[in-house]
Amino acid sequence: MAKSGLSTPTSFEPLSIGIDIGGTGTKFGIVDRNGNLLFSGEMSTRGHANLEAFIDELYNRLSVLIEKAGGSGRMRGIGVGAPNGNYYSGTVEYAPNLPWRGIIPLAKLILTNDANAAAIGEMMYGAAKGMKDFIMITLGTGVGSGIVANGKLIYGHDGFAGELGHTIIINDGRMHEGTGKKGSLESYASATGVKLTALEMLEKSQEDSLL
């Protein structure tokens, strides 16, 4: 989903569904083989008490887009990116920024780590098109990263290679509520971390602020 402008399908060429499950919101869209975004939508990730309710709403919202795109017969694939998505097992494992804990099985979906999915998208359609070696950094509720070397995404032995967000950058630093670790990059550089830093600065300052 590299291109932001919506376009209309002009033929019955195969289409694909992309889903990005973020810690705060979930975005989804239907794209053609060239990466053109045809239809898109978004919904809250945290507004569901359990995973089943989340999947039900996601299914209902996607069904509307699929019908607009010409029906399920045109869909040739579906890819899902999620925090702590394990490429090898097809599961989301102990994601600190998602409301559902433990190991979440999504075996019937094509699942990859959300930052890895972003890296593949940039390599195929975006700023990294034509590049063989690069690192993709994603900033949102958390900090994700995808590493590409010699044109191939690096997964590591357990499917979690390149998770720079959980690298400790400050010894005994800020506590990460999701992991319980102190001083990780995600604790400072994510949207959540920036917000916490702003609040800490406001508490220490005696000056008036619009915030």
Query: Which residue in the block uniquely carries the two structure tokens 């089943």?
Result: 52
Query: Which residue in the block uniquely carries the two structure tokens 């990116």?
Result: 81
Average pLDDT over residues 14-26: 91
State the Cα–Cα distance between residues 200 and 100, nearest whole angstrom.
Answer: 28
Query: Which residue in the block uniquely carries the two structure tokens 């990460």?
Result: 176
Q: Nearest CA to 119 among 89, 155, 95, 91?
A: 155
Question: Residue 211: pLDDT above 80?
Answer: no
Residues 98-140 pLDDT 10s? 888 888 887 554 566 778 878 888 888 789 989 999 999 988 8
Q: Decide if 39 contacts 65 (C-beta within 8 A).
A: yes
Q: Which two tokens stand for residue 107?
A: 């075996």
Identity of the amino acid at 157: H
State the Cα–Cα distance between residues 52 and 130, nearest whole angstrom.
Answer: 40
Which pLDDT belongs to residue 3?
41
Q: Decide if 112 contacts 79 (C-beta within 8 A).
A: yes
Question: Residue 60: pLDDT above 50?
Answer: yes
Could you say which DSSP state residue 54 is in? H
Residues 64-100 pLDDT 10s? 999 899 887 788 888 888 888 888 888 889 888 888 8
pTM of this prediction? 0.59
Q: What angle do CA 194, 123, 105 make, to 5 degrees?
A: 70
Cα 89 from chain centroid?
18
